[in-house]
Structure 1
Amino acid sequence: MALPSGISPCADAVRAAAGDMESNEIQEIFQLLRGRTQEILAREGALGSEQAALRAADELARQAEHAAIIERRNALINVRARARLVAFVRDQFADRPDLGIESFLVGTNLARQGSRLSVAAEQKALGDAYIGGMLADLDRADLTAVLARGDSDQDIADALWRIGKDQDTKDLNPQVVEIAKIIQKYQEGARIDANRAGASIGKLPGYIARQSHDSEKMGAAGFERWAEEILPRLDTATFREGGDPMVFLKGVYDGLVSGDHLKSPAGQQPNGFRGPANLAKKLSQERVLHFKDGVAWHEYNQLFGTGNLREAVLRGLDLSGQNTALMRRLGTNPEANLNMAMDVIKEDVRAGGDPAALANFNTARRGVIGNRLKEVSGQTRIPGNATQARVAANVRAWQSLSKLGGALLSSFTDLPVAASEMRYQGQSFLGSLAEMGAGLMKGRGSAEQRQILSAYGVYADSMRGEIMRRFSADDSVGGKMSRGMSQFFRLNGLSWWTDANKASAGLMMAHNLAQNKGKAWGSLNGDFKRALGLYDLDAGKWELLREMDTRMADGRDYMTPDGIAGISDERIGQYLAERNRPESAGAIRETRQDLERSLRAYVNDRVTYAVLEPDARTRSIMNQGTQPGTVPGDLLRFVTQFKSFPAAYMQKTLGRELYGRGYTPTALGNSFRGGRDLVQALRNGNGERLALAQLMLWTTAFGYLSMASKDVTKGREPRPADDPKTWLAAMVQGGGLGIFGDYLFGEANRFGNSALESAAGPTIGTAADVINLWARAKEGDDTASSALRLAQNNTPFMNLFYTRIALDHLFLYSVQEAMNPGSLRRTEERIRQQNGQEFLVRPSQSYQDPLGIAR
């Protein structure tokens, strides 16, 4: 590359001093130096050009020295991460290294030390801890409602910017300033954690939140208008590299609109960056838009962002948790480190001398393990085409708003499922069932209890708008649709139900930990020890936990992660000495972090077993490594919509009872491993069959309760209890099909769809309804009534279980009867013949006709 005029003599001097260096690297150094000089001159006008250039060179030299330190540190981090992964597989999964790697990434149900202390579990626990801690602090200060309202967003953004710039905030509302301080506290904590894990994130003065960009809004506005709006709101630091600002902004605009900014860089090696030239590349690739103040940030966010301030802060903290946990476990380049570790493990398998085992391992590496990594690395959430992904996600959200109005009534089996999880941990099934039921009366718990839950990252999902993740592997909905879904799940009661059940489950586990604190490891219940072992808590670590302080809330004692700070350095040093490990300050701090990670992951993860939601393993199975915004990715997400809950039931609840009690999986190299594993698990003799029988009995009973409740909300008598078909249906309802079973056996088949069409998902099923309707209309059939029913079943908010029956009797039945006279009477007869049910109030005789169209 030719150098610009006037630079060649200087370049020769640089080359002579630095040795062999490419011309393009030298050019980048000079461009960076020129941009930094201009920035210093703009900031400190009293300096001359020469003084500013010297200062710029000094700053870049220090930055390059820092880069070299980061390079050496990251190399050590990566070596250590690989060694830990290899040691874990060799120690715990020598017979099935493929399952060992899967356990490390997303967790499995196998009863082996650390099999649930996965990358994914730490990602969720850490992100939840950041968010839960912030929400708990806001709750304690009685400021949650102020932030949630959204009418103070501009002032909060302004306060965040001023606090970051050390500017006066006395003219702002004190509540707004306190909210900003709480947000800044957790953002700074997340930044420090990331740097300790291997990042090098400087403290950015005036930082507010991770900026979002709505590609649709930007595309509709066009570059000229976007640049016109953003340019006056940007700080001069945005253009520190020099050059034409409009050229810079055009590159940013094109990347944001196309979605290229979301794509992960490829071909990276597991090291840091070297020298100022590569640092310049890094800075040019990670362009940052610096806003001149908080008001400017908020104005831009309203014009071209995808959510409000609260959503931006929560999204940023959650992403920080994901990235930091990934670096903690897999180093600064996770994919490269994992591949290098798997190369070592592959040689272990090869040394076993079984070619079939090696072939099985290689197949798992290319398929299952690759998909698991894509899930924890976030690749399955990066859209291939941003616009396509947004449209598809909104279509699925529309289906949810139209068809999940009765979701609460399908969730009654949460109670026996939670009780079965507590039984797995060594607690009483009936006692846990009673406590879960009582918890519904207490809702989200007292203020003291919410503080305890926040320490584990178990906090109200309704505050985060994430109730939908219980039923979908798709979390790509944003903006107004996301807020509409949050409101919908509040209205249908599922937000309250989920929050209350999670609070009860989390508090039961934290209380059980405190109750057992007085017991030595050998005296603990065997099931309880097994559950702790899944999160790498053993006898030595339990003895450390016994040293910690507990917390009281509403007359009960609870163990929480923040109590680990009360364990003395001397006691931890003794623990390290007993294991022949150095007693350095760093080792002590790391041991505290490991204890906190294990304890938090234990409660945070097991709560998602008690109140089922799909974990990373379930999502990976359903997404198969695909990305939204691609044809296979969106097709899979359409097909699997509403199937995440039953998939989680099969993978987590049934999988826990079958494979989580100590069975030995079939060795690599054997065919039909899945079938062999199932038979082996059932023959294991550790209580698997009894646990499954108890689970089936109670979920069937609560499944009948769900069915009866839904029948009543439809105006029908409950199905006859003496009919075997009723209990078969209750078993299906209670056995994890839940919402999907509701859809498969209910409304869809009334349009004549096959089971295959229904199994293809609600969107494809609805498309089939439309096609069937069109075909019938072409043949001259009367389709008015079917069209009305199709519209009813695809109108958001219309199917809320407590409003639909009122709408039916007050208005919809009369319209249906007018379009298809006698249809109500025929419906009554069909229900009587198929289900043996009568209507509590017969539609054909009791409907209202306010418009006078049916009578």
Structure 2
Amino acid sequence: MAFRDCLISAVDQGALSREEAAELQARFDEQFAQARLSLGDDAAAAAAKDALAAELRYEAAETRRRVLLQDGARARNAEYLQGYRDAKGRPDIFSAALNLLEHYGYAGTSSVAGRAKAITSLAHGAMADVLSTFRRDFATGARRNRPMVDDVVRGLFGEETTPEAKALSGAIGETFELLRQRFNAAGGAIGKLEKWGLPQGHDAAALLQAGREPWKDFVRPLLDRERMRDPLSGGTMTEARLEASLDHVFDTITTDGWAHRAPTMQARGRGSLASQRADHRFLVFKDADAWLSYDREFGHGDPIRSVFEHVNGMSADIATMEILGPNPGAMVEWMKQVVTAEAAKAVAGKPSLYNAGAKTAEGIAEKLNYLGYRIDSVYQYVRGRQVVSSAVAAGFGDVRNVLTSAVLGSASITAAATDPFIDAAARFLSGLPMGGALGAVLHTGRRGTREEAVRSGILLDDFVHIMQDEARWAGTLGGREWSRWLADRTVTWSGLAPMTQARKHVFAREFEATLADQAGRRFDELPRPLRDTMAGYGIDATDWDVMRSVEMHRPKPGSAGFLRPIDVAGLADAPALPKVQQLLGIDATDQALARDQAAAGARRVAEKYLEMILGQTERAVPEGTVRAKSVVGGAAPRGTAAGELLQGVLQFKTFSLSFTTLQLEAIMREVGVSKPRGAAYAGGLALGLTIAGALAIQLKAIANGKDPQPMDDPRFWIQALGTGGGFGIMGDYMFADVNRLGQSLGEQIAGPTIGAGSDALKLTIGNAQELVQGKPTHAGREVVGAIGRYTPVLSSLWPIRAAYRRVFLDQLQYLLDPEASKNFSEQQSRLRRETGQEMFWEPGDLAPRRGPRLERALHR
């Protein structure tokens, strides 16, 4: 009986639905079409049936395994959602659902975002020499030791190479294999390929630009046909099958797979996460040179980027599947419905796990649709939002990058003043020693100290944001390479990026040192703040016993020890293995199985430890939490005008949102423990940040050629509170109608992207209207102002911005603005009127007339 007739009979008997039969027929037709290239019709039909039967048997086994994993994840998450209690002991299923996606303590469990960072950190720690060798140059941002990259690729392909490159490729290969095994254990199905090399990225635009036949002509001689397997017969690829397969690959890459999808009445999503990396890695290159040649022409052109994109992406996928199951999208949908159903019970007056607080039934009912939306928006940000149009996303990203370069060049001054106080608050919450942070920051700038931190499993930002899509205080950037370089170099040259990384390393190393000092104590003997912090990330007494069984790391003989996460992860390879097995309750009858279980258990404890360190580091050095970012952008995809404008609204506000939400959470928790303790924490933080804000204002004034502001004016201290409290740019509006970018409060709230667009309209259409109406345009002055506001690097980098304005912009204004002298005089009068300041480097002067009068800070 023909295959089609079999399907018709199965539908008539009710064994299959029409949709299922159509799907099977489409898969058979694809197999048959491929087989006909080398076989006759009858043989092709038989081969297609056999191949489809084998696929279905494999899929059935995998489906059963994934169903069990998914059910296990749902049971664990249901137990957590039902058992979570807030600081006052009340059930709060909505907060519990968000905790599973992201949290920074007080949750008692791991989150997807936190575990992803922890897995990434351990992977990076195992490749510390790779990070050190290929770190970026401070001045240019270029990757160091670039010639060695090709040698490392050769090592990954199993070819002869230098000893140094072989060691680096060995570390990369071992990390790849560990991640592959763990991905499969979580529900994936990636086969092991000998001499696989590394992932091959494809630039769809480059393929389309080259064209199908030129691409095939280019890639064909680079492939190893002897190692490529025919997916139908399992044998060597014939010429005809290779040609058809290359057509299939080209269409798949350039259409994101849509060229081979049959339309159905069901929505097309990406499906189960477990199956998204289960490809056959079909293109097998002859050798490293072939891979490199293809990568330069149709890939990223940066093998190190390919390495870390793979590591970071696999880590995120593993964390997502381990917590949410092989099909995390389905789990998120289940959580949304569970939370909404519990909220609906509260509306109906029934017992509920939803924390209504002071809201009435009407207020809860109003939020029913919002709850699921909020959970979904956080999940979209955790996983990375869909990009609808890469061209639109890149264009808006370029604008954000240029604005970042034009604005954030002095943010390091504020960070230098405020970070020690924020750091001290985080130490207080975490139970760490309060002193020595500033000196340690200076010390950690040394290369040796930085490498020690990375080797212990602490993230190095350069290799987390391998595409440089994030910058502190700027949020998500995106954009093309040239604009990302501008933004990245500005925050680096200003000192913001190095300072941020240094503070992270200091805080993390302080955690390791503190726990090493406490290793002699049982869990219930630890100081309460430290014990509560550990419990907030799911670390219990058993985990602590495993952690403290490690031999402390001492960089120098006789030095203070560090309890490093990477050493905890490696306990199964140490003499402590029997003790770890006993602590974890592992049956040692089967030694090989017990060792594997102990290794997985030790690694899991290490990841909890790292999740705690990295989570508390976000409190010490705020950059931007997913929850804060998703408040504005929601689930809006990237690459749409609306989504990108929303992203622009968020630019420069990420720090403020994250800082505020984390501190409010901490204050509520501290008040729950003790009202006096909570009040002392909140008051001490506000006082410290106000002093820091005052210092930042004065330092920026001097950097801009102004005398310090008189501090006997109450308005100054209000501005200092706004600046030090995380509002940064918002502090500019305390006493002026416009901010330092020349934009109104409304324009700044709308975001710098919209503000820049408004400025462009004023400069063009606005001046044209004034010209038609016979009004003075001041076009020359406005052109100079726009150049001063939006010139990357020069207009914001604090060591040179004053000189750039006085030596170049002011002289340009003399040429373009007939009333330049009058305008300069008005600037000084306005400054004197609003803040009581004078300029020691006056507008229009090529050099300062005097130094800053520091005594002006004491009185007017």
Q: Counterparts of 1:505-544 in structure 2 under 5 Å?
A: 505-544=507-546
Structure 1 distance, partners of 2:182, 2:730, is 40
Deviations 1:787-841 (A, max 9, x none): 1120122121212111222323433322223333303333222222222111223
Structure 2 distance, partners of 1:267, 1:220, is 27
- Report if aligned partners of 1:461, 1:499 keep a CA contact under 8 Å in 2: no
User: Does the alignment pair 1:201 with 2:193?
Assistant: no
What are structure 1's unaligned runs of at least 5 residues? 42-49, 274-280, 664-680, 849-855
Map of 1:119 onto structure 2: 112
Map of 1:719 onto structure 2: 709
Structure 1 distance, partners of 2:286, 2:480, is 26
User: Does the alignment pair 1:339 with 2:333?
Assistant: yes
Map of 2:670 onto structure 1: 661
The worse-fitting range, judged by mean Cα deviation, of 555-564 and 726-735 is 555-564
Structure 1 distance, partners of 2:840, 2:260, is 58
Map of 2:623 onto structure 1: 613
RMSD across aligned C-alpha pairs, in angstroms? 4.3
User: Does the alignment pair 1:185 with 2:174?
Assistant: yes
Map of 1:704 onto structure 2: 694
- Report if aligned partners of 2:478, 2:484 keep a CA contact under 8 Å in 1: no
Structure 2 distance, partners of 1:107, 1:282, is 27
The worse-fitting range, judged by mean Cα deviation, of 223-232 and 409-418 is 223-232
Structure 1 distance, partners of 2:498, 2:76, is 41
Map of 2:456 onto structure 1: 455
**CA shift for structure 1 position 304:** 3.5
1:416 aligned to 403, 416, 421, which one?
A: 421
Structure 2 distance, partners of 1:320, 1:811, is 49
Structure 2 distance, partners of 1:813, 1:788, is 8
The 3-state SS of whatever aligns with 2:409 is coil
- Report if aligned partners of 2:767, 2:779 keep a CA contact under 8 Å in 1: yes
Q: Counterparts of 1:361-760 in structure 2 under 5 Å?
A: 362-378=368-384, 380=385, 382-412=386-416, 413-429=418-434, 431=435, 435-445=436-446, 447=448, 450-461=451-462, 464=465, 466=468, 468-554=470-556, 555-564=559-568, 565-566=570-571, 568=576, 570-576=578-584, 585=594, 588-652=598-662, 654-661=663-670, 663=672, 685=675, 687-739=677-729, 741=731, 749=739, 753-760=743-750
1:81 aligned to 73, 96, 101, which one?
A: 73
Deviations 1:468-514 (A, max 9, x none): 43223425345343334333322222222112111111111111111
Structure 2 distance, partners of 1:202, 1:792, is 56
- Report if aligned partners of 2:473, 2:652 keep a CA contact under 8 Å in 1: yes
Structure 2 distance, partners of 1:640, 1:344, is 30
The 3-state SS of whatever aligns with 1:212 is coil
- Report if aligned partners of 2:134, 2:145 keep a CA contact under 8 Å in 1: no
What is the aligned-residue identity percentage? 22
Deviations 1:114-137 (A, max 9, x none): 3xx211111122223323432x12
Pick closer, same or farther for the CA change 1:282–1:376 going to 2, 3 Å: closer
Q: Counterparts of 1:806-825 in structure 2 under 5 Å?
A: 806-820=803-817, 821-822=820-821, 823-825=823-825
Map of 2:834 onto structure 1: 834
The worse-fitting range, judged by mean Cα deviation, of 623-632 and 221-230 is 221-230
The 3-state SS of whatever aligns with 2:561 is strand
Structure 1 distance, partners of 2:213, 2:152, is 30
User: Does the alignment pair 1:96 with 2:96?
Assistant: no
Map of 1:776 onto structure 2: 767
- Report if aligned partners of 2:381, 2:630 keep a CA contact under 8 Å in 1: yes
Structure 2 distance, partners of 1:444, 1:191, is 34
Pick closer, same or farther for the CA change 1:218–1:646 going to 2, 3 Å: farther
**CA shift for structure 1 position 618:** 1.9
Structure 1 distance, partners of 2:134, 2:302, is 20
**TM-score, normalising length from structure 2?**
0.81
Map of 1:666 onto structure 2: none
Pick closer, same or farther for the CA change 1:206–1:197 going to 2, 3 Å: same
Structure 1 distance, partners of 2:759, 2:585, is 69
Q: Counterparts of 1:26-41 in structure 2 under 5 Å?
A: 28=27, 32=31
Structure 1 distance, partners of 2:811, 2:326, is 65
**CA shift for structure 1 position 96:** 1.3
The 3-state SS of whatever aligns with 1:244 is helix
- Report if aligned partners of 1:501, 1:611 keep a CA contact under 8 Å in 2: yes
Structure 1 distance, partners of 2:533, 2:334, is 31
Structure 2 distance, partners of 1:226, 1:403, is 43
The worse-fitting range, judged by mean Cα deviation, of 637-646 and 355-364 is 355-364
Structure 1 distance, partners of 2:661, 2:598, is 37
- Report if aligned partners of 1:306, 1:479 keep a CA contact under 8 Å in 2: no
Letter of the structure 2 residue corresponding to residue 660 of structure 1: R
The 3-state SS of whatever aligns with 1:802 is coil
The 3-state SS of whatever aligns with 1:843 is coil
- Report if aligned partners of 1:713, 1:801 keep a CA contact under 8 Å in 2: yes
Map of 2:791 onto structure 1: 795
What are structure 2's unaligned runs of at least 5 residues? 233-240, 351-360, 772-776, 849-860
Pick closer, same or farther for the CA change 1:753–1:614 going to 2, 3 Å: closer
**CA shift for structure 1 position 628:** 0.7
Letter of the structure 2 residue corresponding to residue 767 of structure 1: G
Letter of the structure 2 residue corresponding to residue 354 of structure 1: G
Letter of the structure 2 residue corresponding to residue 335 of structure 1: G
- Report if aligned partners of 1:218, 1:304 keep a CA contact under 8 Å in 2: yes
Letter of the structure 1 residue corresponding to residue 297 of structure 2: L
Structure 1 distance, partners of 2:268, 2:22, is 24
Q: Tell me the number of residue pairs that the alignment of Structure 1 and Structure 2 aligns.
A: 784
**CA shift for structure 1 position 690:** 1.5
Map of 1:105 onto structure 2: 101
- Report if aligned partners of 2:252, 2:258 keep a CA contact under 8 Å in 1: no
Deviations 1:722-776 (A, max 9, x none): 2222211111110101256569989964776431112111111111112222313
Structure 2 distance, partners of 1:607, 1:232, is 50
The 3-state SS of whatever aligns with 2:295 is helix
Pick closer, same or farther for the CA change 1:847–1:347 going to 2, 3 Å: closer
The 3-state SS of whatever aligns with 2:675 is coil
Map of 1:669 onto structure 2: none
The worse-fitting range, judged by mean Cα deviation, of 439-448 and 730-739 is 439-448
**TM-score, normalising length from structure 1?**
0.81
Pick closer, same or farther for the CA change 1:149–1:525 going to 2, 3 Å: same
Pick closer, same or farther for the CA change 1:746–1:27 going to 2, 3 Å: same
- Report if aligned partners of 1:127, 1:318 keep a CA contact under 8 Å in 2: yes
- Report if aligned partners of 1:748, 1:765 keep a CA contact under 8 Å in 2: no
Map of 1:211 onto structure 2: 200
Map of 2:255 onto structure 1: 255
- Report if aligned partners of 2:571, 2:577 keep a CA contact under 8 Å in 1: no
Structure 2 distance, partners of 1:808, 1:30, is 69
Structure 2 distance, partners of 1:751, 1:604, is 34
